[in-house]
Amino acid sequence: DHPNLGTAYNNVGSVHYCLDHYDLALDHYNRSLKIRLKSLPAQHPDISMTYENMGLVVIPQLLGAGAVQLTEICGY
């Protein structure tokens, strides 16, 4: 798996996130992470970016409206 494929999955996940398709976004972020963990050094910034994107999907779902307001304040 080439790192560019991980980037493509991450980008598709971001589109789904913007469209409020959170399950599809998380699926694509997971695919991206799997590829990036195999093809990039452990400390590569793209890996942490994928984890951050996954958090943006999962944390508001876990914490509810307060987390959504917090992410909006932070500019996400």
- Domains by residue range for the chain, with CATH: 3-73 (1.25.40)
The dihedral sign for the CA sequence 13, 18, 73, 59? negative
Whole-angstrom distance, CA of residue 39 vs CA of residue 72: 33
Entry pTM: 0.80
Q: Who wins on pLDDT, 40 or 1?
A: 40
Residues with Cβ within 8 Å of residue 29, at least 6 apart in sequence: 9, 10, 13, 50, 53, 54, 57
The dihedral sign for the CA sequence 3, 31, 52, 37? negative
Distance of CA 62 to CAs 13, 32, 59, Å?
19, 22, 5
pLDDT, tens digit, 9 for 90 and up, residues 34-62: 999 999 999 999 999 999 999 889 877 77
